[in-house]
Amino acid sequence: MYPDLSYIAHALLGTQPDNWLSIFKTFGFFLAIAFLTSAVVYYVELKRKAQEGFYQPETSTVTEGLPATPTDILMNALVGLLLAGKGMYAYLNYEDFRHDPASVILSGKLHWLAGLFGAAALGALTWWDARRRQKDPPVTREVTLYPHDRISEMTFWAAVGGIVGAKVFDLFDNWESFLQDPVGSLTSGGGLAFFGGLVLGFVAVASYMWRKKIPFWPSADAAAPALTAGYGVGRIGCQLSGDGDWGIVNNAPKPDWLSWIPDGVWATQYPHHVLNTVHTDPVPSIAVRNCDWDYCFQLSEPVWPTPLYEVLLMLGVFGILWALRKRIKIPGMLFFIYLAFIAVERFLIEKIRVNVVHDVLGMKLTQAEIISIFLFLISAAGAVYVWRRNSRQ
């Protein structure tokens, strides 16, 4: 496994692991790539739908040449405080930062002298830059905006809602651990629940579209392949880092008809996984022999590589949605097809995946299985709704 980018560099270039690249964790790197992938696909689809006439442009006024406002100066000063303060703290405590960047980035740890200098410098730069571009009188002009022109704002709200939702839903699943160590649970790099990210990310973006009066159904259809692509890329990070989203123990021999696939596709022990602990519940970890690196543990028994399966499944779902996106003419239908696909996919993968089980009406179900059932019902009801709505028009 590749817990950080130094291990990927080692595999590709033969460099020694645990170098400066180790501050960039593989899971976080692919999480960022996942958001960018979703944003690119969403932009392409929103632009296509704008060209097909689904959206009317919004006219907005922009005033150029104004002096910097106190809010602008204050916000940029705050950015300077955090960048300089945390940057200097990370430099002076490099080993701690290299092993656990989240414990510095998501905490109150700060080098205050460097932070105050950074705040003053960036605040002054903001004032000076606005003064340099100031016009007398200021110039006001009109700009035309389509939904795809707002993709950076929508991506921001999707990221905020998605990460918060994923973390909150994971805490519900691991409530006892959260009560024992609230700070550690909140600042740990792992522990993200996909469906939690989907729900709150959806709420955040839908709220933004409602405020901007962006038509919902064509935007939801455009989001279907974008969310699928982002989820698939994110699961690559789970697989490569070994973040604990693996399956249950798989000691079954690989069937002869699958002899052509690598052994790791059938079962793997996730050597050098990012959890880096002696014991992980329910599959214990053991030390990797003759290892003098930072990450020296692997699972004691092989398990199903479920993140890899989800990458492959999402690739297939993306291909189907991409092929259907121009053929389905009913607004909203593609989105509900997407919900049905991810509900079935996640419900099935949970059968071979390690997860917390809840007792629901006498049935043992994981959080993801419960949500999958609701999502499938919503997808069926939603598909009927948009079909009837379209037939009445």
What pLDDT, on the 0 to 100 scale, is given for residue 189?
47
The residue written with tokens 């992980």 in the block is 280
- Give CA–CA dist 168/194, Å, rounded: 11
- 60, containing H or E segment: strand 58-64
Q: Where are the domains of the chain?
A: 5-57+146-391, 62-143
Preceding amide of 282 cis, omega within 30? yes
The residue written with tokens 């997407």 in the block is 338
**Cβ neighbour number for residue 237 with a 10 Å cutoff:** 24
Q: Which residues pair with 60 in a beta bridge?
A: 143
User: By CB neighbour count within 10 A (0-12 exposed, 13-18 middle, 19+ buried), where does 183 fall?
Assistant: exposed
User: Taken in order 228, 229, 233, 236, is the CA torsion positive or negative?
Assistant: positive
What are phi and psi for residue 175, nearest 5 degrees? Answer: -65, -40
Radius of gyration of the chain (CA): 24
- Give CA–CA dist 385/379, Å, rounded: 10
- Return the ∠ at Cα 158 (arms to 155 and 162), rounded to 5°: 140
Q: Where are the beta strands (DSSP E) in 146-241?
A: none
Residues 6+ apart with CB under 8 A from 85: 110, 111, 112, 114, 115, 116, 118
How many residues belong to the chain? 393
- Read off the amino acid at residue 86: K
What pLDDT, on the 0 to 100 scale, is given for residue 284?
86
What pLDDT, on the 0 to 100 scale, is given for residue 195?
63
Q: What is the pLDDT along the chain (393 residues), one digit of tens a residue?
A: 899 999 999 999 988 888 888 888 998 899 889 989 999 999 999 999 999 999 988 888 888 889 999 999 999 999 999 999 999 999 999 888 887 787 788 778 899 999 999 999 999 999 999 999 998 888 998 888 999 999 999 988 888 887 787 777 666 655 556 555 555 555 554 455 666 677 788 888 889 999 989 999 999 999 999 999 999 999 999 999 998 889 999 999 999 999 999 999 999 999 999 888 766 667 888 988 888 888 999 999 999 999 999 999 999 999 999 999 999 999 999 999 999 999 999 999 988 987 767 676 777 787 788 889 999 999 999 999 999 998 887
- Read off the amino acid at residue 391: S
Global pTM reads 0.84
- Give CA–CA dist 340/335, Å, rounded: 9
Q: Tell me the three state secondary structure of residue 285.
A: strand
How do beta strands 139-145 and 58-64 pair? antiparallel
- Give CA–CA dist 32/29, Å, rounded: 5
